[in-house]
A = this chain, B = another copy of it.
């Protein structure tokens, strides 16, 4: 545990332009402390290096405090051990929410933003299954697979690593999820408060997702997509890569199938992941959390636009058919994914049922015929 003053020095040094994580640790080794490094840095290079001022660091710390967030430095208790092991681990993280989750065994579940309904369901089921096994689920809070993975593990434990500041909700429609994560899980960022995420931030963020995880599961990913960057980081960091197989005719599955071709572990259920990791998970257990009532748990994750969308019947039928496949899906999930009222979905489903286009299954599930 660093003293408050030391933590501020770490923040100042890590926020100093041109000093990335690798340089940060090199300076720390050479000068023995962040304070000594801050003294030495302006005299070191041929170029002017101006460290972050103490006043600016104090302002950031105070702002984090007001938001209920805290700083977590490399090597401090609670800093994920797996993340600490990578060469370019973030020296300082800002953490919102239930930070104790960061110390538990973690698996990342990531994938396409434009995921299919089945892909989202798979991500959610995998995340829930990992949670049951005492594993925290990390992801990137993006649309599609990421959001579904967080949703599936909200009750057990999930951590979002965001590309911008810990206070920035991106994409904006995931505000409901963000709020639930802050209450129920945790949100983690490397960037300063208030940073709007930019393209260059995402690969850096992805290295944290894989770095804090024992393995990365990719669910639906097109060729050359961001999820594959996370998988590549995982390989470089010596982590396991898991991929969910899919039809060669669906471009959203191409990246996953490529990963499988290159040796990723084929994954249909959480059991595939747990079997593969075996001893690494020995005694995996989620940190105890206060009972739900004290955590002001929202009953459901509010969608970005909580007001149900009103559509004509034709569009509604199209929306539902698009989300359905031969694999049964829960009606509740359809309601959520279509953003229609439960009553509207029920009436559209009745119509499709009478037309012989869908099939009902026990447990309020439906599939396309």
Contact = CB atoms under 8 A, between A and B. Distances in A.
B121 A325 contact: no
A247 B247 contact: yes
Interface stretch (A137-145, A182-190, A205-213, A248-256): A248-256
A339 interface: no
> For this complex, into which size category does the number of interface residues on chain A fall?
35 or more
Interface stretch (A45-53, A56-64, A166-174, A315-323): A315-323
Contacts of A368: 321-322
Contact of A322 (B268, B314, B369): B369
Interface string A113-124: 000101001100
A325 B268 contact: no
Contacts of A253: 245, 247
Contacts of A269: 248
Contact of A356 (B254, B260, B318): B318
Interface in A329-369: 355-357, 368-369
A261 interface: yes
Interface in A143-184: none
Contact of A355 (B272, B318, B326): B318
B249 A327 contact: yes
Contacts of A325: 247, 249-250
Interface in A248-278: 248-250, 253-254, 257, 260-261, 266-269, 272
Contacts of A317: 355
A246 interface: yes
A244 interface: yes
Among the interface residues A118, A248, A326, A369, which one has the most CB atoms of the partner chain B within 10 A? A248
A90 to B, nearest CB: 34
Contact of A245 (B116, B122, B260, B314): B260
B357 A318 contact: yes
Contact of A321 (B122, B246, B321): B321
Nearest to A329: B249
Nearest to A261: B266
B248 A314 contact: no
Contacts of A314: 355-356
B248 A116 contact: no
A262 to B, nearest CB: 9
A71 B156 CA distance: 67
A355 B356 CA distance: 18
Contacts of A121: 249
Interface in A104-132: 116, 118, 121-122
Interface of A: 116, 118, 121-122, 244-250, 253-254, 257, 260-261, 266-269, 272, 314-315, 317-318, 321-322, 325-327, 355-357, 368-369
Given A118-B247, A247-B327, 9 more contacts: A122-B248, A245-B245, A245-B247, A250-B325, A250-B326, A314-B356, A315-B356, A318-B357, A321-B368
30 contacts: A118-B247, A118-B249, A121-B249, A122-B247, A122-B248, A122-B249, A244-B248, A245-B245, A245-B246, A245-B247, A245-B248, A245-B253, A245-B266, A246-B247, A247-B247, A247-B325, A248-B269, A249-B327, A250-B326, A257-B268, A260-B260, A260-B266, A261-B266, A314-B355, A317-B355, A318-B355, A318-B356, A321-B321, A321-B357, A322-B369
Return the 10 tightest CB-CB contacts between A and B, nearest first: A249-B327, A245-B245, A248-B268, A261-B266, A118-B249, A318-B357, A260-B266, A245-B257, A318-B356, A246-B247
